[in-house]
Chain A
Amino acid sequence: MDWSLAVSIGNDEEVLKSTLLRSPALQKARQVLCQRNFASVALAYNAAIRECPKDVLVFTHPDVYLPAGWPASLERSLDWLNRNDPQWGVAGLVGCTKDGAIRGFAFSTGQGAFIGRPLAAPCEVRTLDEFVFMLRPETGLNFDEAIPGPQCQLCTTDLCCKLRRQICAPMPCRASRCTTAIGGTFCRCAFGDLIFTCGKNGAVRCLFKYPTLISRPAACLW
């Protein structure tokens, strides 16, 4: 399955050049869309969906590095999803269950530590962090353009809340080598998975937008 990558760029052109655009994994993407001059990340991402309506779209932040083995891991995960849950909507590298437990695996340069642990197979989560996530094109989903800001951390959580059924598809370990992405600063999560995945501003908005879905606090992450 073809995949393309989209990144929304605010004032982080330098980090884009020094990190994401140096990722060897990008050579396997059908297209790399660097979305500039959009008023919000939601507008930038929706434009990418219109430009690549048939591809799995991978959305990343500019400070993410995707190593050479990542496309093969992505392909395995997509194969798994298409076999086991062909109606999947959104997948990502790191997410939270409804109990606030982290699922997935990545290295956070902000924390200087790994987040989570490698999974043998994708698993269901409630929300996904948006540093790296994918959208299946046939879902017809798009981003809420009322969400402001060039990087407000709510877009993915908003999609997850819409779907209510999400798959977290971290890159599974291969027999001889483990691949992951690096990048991002993850939240010191004092109030559960919402804060982890969409930040404080996003959590407040989400709280009012989906009051029935978000009905319980979750455990601290670290």
Chain B
Amino acid sequence: MVKNTLRGFLQGGGRSHRVVTRVADPAAFYEQLQRDVLSVMS
């Protein structure tokens, strides 16, 4: 575990994995998800 984690840390250059993401219109995007996917799952 230690070896793997340190290896990953070094390979990643110490960067955080988190990248701020955005969609142009999150409300419209969510509505599309609601129509196409979430309503089917409910």
A149 to B17, CA, bound (A): 13
Chain A CB count within 10 A is highest, among B18, B19, B34, B37, for: B18
Cβ proximity bits B11-42 to A, threshold 8 Å, 1 near / 0 not: 01011111111111011011001100111011
Chief secondary structure at chain A's binding surface: loop
Q: How far is the CB of B15 from chain A (nearest CB, A)?
A: 7
Residue of B nearest to A196 (CB): B17
With contact pairs A15-B20, A63-B22, A118-B41 given, residues A191 and B30 touching in the complex (Cβ less than 8 Å): no
Residue of A nearest to B17 (CB): A187
Q: Please, which residues of chain A bring their CB within 8 A of the CB of B16?
A: 149, 151-153, 199-202
With contact pairs A178-B42, A204-B6 given, residues A191 and B1 touching in the complex (Cβ less than 8 Å): yes
Contact between A180 and B22 (Cβ–Cβ < 8 Å)?
Answer: no
Cβ proximity bits A151-181 to B, threshold 8 Å, 1 near / 0 not: 1110000000000000000000111111110
By the criterion of a CB under 8 Å from any partner CB, how many residues of chain B are at the interface? Answer: 30
Contact between A182 and B20 (Cβ–Cβ < 8 Å)?
Answer: no
A104 to B32, CA, bound (A): 21
Q: Please, which residues of chain B bring their CB within 8 A of the CB of A200?
A: 5, 8-9, 12, 14-17
By the criterion of a CB under 8 Å from any partner CB, how many residues of chain A are at the interface? Answer: 54
Partner of A18, one of B17, B22, B37: B22
Q: Please, which residues of chain A bring their CB within 8 A of the CB of B29?
A: 65, 109, 182
Give residues in A with beta carbon < 8 Å to B. Answer: 12, 14-15, 18-19, 22-24, 61-63, 65, 67, 107-110, 114, 118, 149, 151-153, 173-180, 182-188, 190-192, 194-195, 199-204, 207, 214-217
18 contacts between A and B (CB under 8 A): A15-B22, A61-B20, A63-B22, A173-B41, A175-B42, A177-B39, A178-B41, A179-B38, A182-B33, A183-B21, A183-B26, A191-B5, A195-B5, A200-B12, A201-B15, A202-B16, A204-B6, A207-B5
Given contacts A62-B20, A63-B20, A65-B26, 8 further A-B contacts (CB under 8 A): A61-B20, A107-B33, A153-B16, A179-B38, A182-B30, A200-B16, A203-B5, A216-B1
